[in-house]
């Protein structure tokens, strides 16, 4: 009789655990519905090149970048303004050409 109650209790625990997993949000999606990311211009995705040259590839590349971050699509993308960057890292003055501005990509679920 004890075994029957133990098996019934174990079955109930497994059932509750399985049910709670189905109610959890997807792990691959970000919790926020919209977020803006600052992506370096030389990130390898090619968003900056598409923006500067004016090609239509910018939307497709931005969408792919957002999907890689767990979002479904890119709402907007543009070259970031200097005010968008916090400047928390000290800038080293070097006699080279200025670095291109980063790209701001706003992603949404």
Mean pLDDT of 23-32: 53
User: Which tokens sit at 10?
Assistant: 């174990």
Residue 92 domain flag: no
pLDDT in tens, 49-106: 887 677 778 888 889 889 999 999 999 888 888 777 776 666 667 667 767 778 889 9
The pLDDT of residue 30 is 46
E strand intervals along 1-109: 34-39, 73-79, 103-108
Residue 7 domain flag: no
DSSP state of 102: P
Residue 57 domain flag: yes
Residue 19 domain flag: no
The boundaries of the domain holding residue 67 are 30-86+98-108
Three-state SS letters, 13-42: HHHHHHHHHHHCCCCCCCCCCEEEEEECCC
Q: Give the chain's domain count.
A: 1
Residue 37 domain flag: yes
The pLDDT of residue 71 is 94
Cα separation, 42 vs 9, whole angstroms: 57
Could you tell me the pLDDT band of residue 16, with boundaries at 50, 70 and 90? low
């Amino acid at each position: 009789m004890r075994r029957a109650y133990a098996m019934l209790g174990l079955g109930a625990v497994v059932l509750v655990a399985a049910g709670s997993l189905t109610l959890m949000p997807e792990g691959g999606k970000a919790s926020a519905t919209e977020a803006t990311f600052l992506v370096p211009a030389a990130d390898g995705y090619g968003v900056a090149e598409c923006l500067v040259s004016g090609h239509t590839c910018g939307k497709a590349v931005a969408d792919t970048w957002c999907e890689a971050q767990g979002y479904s699509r890119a709402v907007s993308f543009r070259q970031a303004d200097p005010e968008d960057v916090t400047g928390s890292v000290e800038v080293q003055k070097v006699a080279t050409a200025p670095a291109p501005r980063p790209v701001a990509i706003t992603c949404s679920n």
